[in-house]
Amino acid sequence: MASANPYKTYLNIWLLLMFLTFITVYAAEFDFGALNVPIALLIASVKAGVVALHFMHLKYEDSMTWIFAIYPLFLLFLLIAFSATDIFTRVAN
Amino acid sequence: MQIMKFIKSLAYPSEMLPPIVEEESHFDPETEHSAAKLGMWLFLATELLLFGGLFAAYAIFRAKYPVMFAEGSANLDVVLGSVNTVILIFSSWTVAVAVTAIQENKIKLVQVMLWITLICAAIFGINKYFEYSYKLSNGIGPGTDIFYSIYFAATGVHMLHVFIGMAVLGVILKRTYEGRYSKEKFTAIEIGGLYWHLVDLIWIYLFPLLYLVG
């Protein structure tokens, strides 16, 4: 691995993830109204990004692996966005 | 030539069988290693889209029935969910350490880390069992309302992945005792680890969406 001491890096990453988990739970105590879900998703995405980059070694992978990792996110976006635009633009009969 | 050999082998089974060379590389080992990893990433993409359907259902029904989701979410045990999150992220860390350790030939460390991972996964399952049985004994099941349908489907499919991950890592752990892995040969541990991290990733999203943001 590229890092001098990967074990220490992993430990730091784990502590960061624990901290972010705490933030997630703590933030849920407050009501941000419509921002509740975006905030939760933002923190979750930071955590997911950290796991993918460091634990899954995406940081050290080639561009092909990056495409394989990011392309499904685009498909996921299509799936959710297009289903939603379909459902919520239907005219009630 | 190959066909002749094959037919011959049918006639004289014991003679014809070539000595079993285990997990021989099809290409040079390095190419095979990166190809296997890329294949795993492709599989993880399909896994993500498997859960994608559930996430889409969650997004749409949540927008349609916000009150139902708020009530259902409030009834979930945040403490148990948080404990499970911590356990799963911890097990993800131990797997990451194991993947690095095998590349330094530290077999003992790999074994310890995989044991911890399996124990964490088992605790996760036990917690989930208590959660499910508590809900079911209170008359709340997958058919109660749409929120609980999605809750049971998403966490259930996720739990299935935890079990599959346990099986994969269990087999890998058994094989470390047989001396099958080394600094030169650790592809199985790495892609098994990738699978386990995906299980963690999915939970990172499921936990706040189901337990917290009602």
- Contact assignment for A21 to B96 by CB distance below 8 Å: no
A20 with A56, same domain: the answer is: yes
The residue type at A72: P
Per residue in B136-157, is it b (16+ CB within 10 Å) or e — as a string? Answer: eeeebeeebbbbbbbbbbbbeb
From the first residue on, what is the mean pLDDT of each consecutive set of 10 residues in chain B (214 residues)?
69 57 69 91 95 94 91 90 95 95 93 96 96 92 91 96 96 93 91 96 94 82
Residues A71 and A56 placed together within one structural domain of the fold:
no
- pLDDT tens for A58-92 read 999 999 999 999 999 999 999 999 999 998 898 87
Separation in Å, CA B199 to CA B21, B89, B151, B202: 33, 10, 16, 5
Provide CATH code, domain B49-212.
1.20.120.80
Q: Is A11 in the same domain as A54? A: yes
Handedness of CA B72, B125, B86, B176 (dihedral sign): negative
Assess whether A44 and A87 both reside in one domain: no
pLDDT for A5: 80
What angle (nearest 5°) sits at the alpha carbon of residue B120, between those of residues A7 and B106? 35
Is B212's CB within 8 Å of A56's CB?
no
Q: Are the C-beta atoms of residues A86 and A79 closer than 8 Å to each other?
A: no
CA B214, CA B76: separation in Å to the nearest integer?
Answer: 10
Each residue's pLDDT tens digit, B148-160 = 999 999 999 999 9
* Model pLDDT, residue A33: 79
> Which tokens hold the place of B11?
């006639």
Q: How far apart are CA A46 and CA A54, in angstroms?
A: 12
Q: Do A41 and A26 reside in the same domain of the chain?
A: yes
Of all residues in chain A, the one with the smallest CA distance to B191 is A56
Quickly tell me which residue has 């356990």 as its tokens. Answer: B87
**Res B149: pLDDT:** 95
DSSP state of A5: -
Whether A76 and A92 share a structural domain: yes
Which residue in B has a C-alpha nearest to residue A31's C-alpha? B213
Closest CA–CA distance from residue A18 to any residue of chain B (Å): 7
Give yes or no: residues A12 and A53 share one domain.
Answer: yes
Neighboring chain B residues of A88 at a CB cutoff of 8 Å: 60, 63
Separation CA B117–CA B111 (nearest Å): 10
What is the domain count for chain A?
A: 2
The CA distance from B39 to the nearest CA of chain A, in Å, is 9
Measure Cα distances from B54 to B47, B74, B207 in Å: 12, 20, 14
* Interchain proximity B97–A10, CB inside 8 Å: yes
Q: Which residue ranges make up each domain of chain B?
A: 49-212
A54 and A70 belong to one structural domain: no
Nearest to A6 by CA among A42, A60, A43: A60
Amino acid identity at B108: K
DSSP B136-179: HHTT--TTS-HHHHHHHHHHHHHHHHHHHHHHHHHHHHHHHHTT
Q: What pLDDT, on the 0 to 100 scale, is given for residue A4? A: 63
Within 10 angstroms of residue B71's Cβ, the number of other Cβ atoms is 13
Residues A72 and A40 in one domain: no
In chain B, residues with a C-beta closer than 8 Å to the C-beta of A68 are 38, 41-42, 45
The number of beta carbons lying within 10 Å of the beta carbon of residue A26 is: 9
Report the pLDDT value the prediction gives residue B14, as an integer from 0 to 100: 56
Picking from B48, B55, B205, the nearest residue to A80 by CB comes out as B55
Same structural domain, A52 and A24: yes
Domain that includes residue A86, residue range: 62-93
Do A6 and A44 have their domain in common?
yes
Neighbours of B69 (CB within 10 A): 23
| A24 touching B (Cβ < 8 Å) | yes
Is the pLDDT assigned to residue A1 strictly greater than 50?
no
pTM (2 decimals)? 0.87
Task: Report chain A residues whose CB lies below 8 A from the CB of B59.
Answer: 80, 83-84
From residue B171, alpha-carbon distances to A20, B115, B119, B166, B181 in Å are 32, 12, 14, 8, 12
Tell me, yes or no, whether A30 and A54 share the same domain.
Answer: yes
Distance CA B149, CA B137 (A): 16
Residue A80 and residue A78: Cα distance in Å, rounded? 6
Average pLDDT over all residues of chain B: 89
pLDDT single digits (tens) B113-142: 999 999 999 999 999 999 999 999 999 988
Q: Do A36 and B213 touch (CB under 8 A)?
A: yes
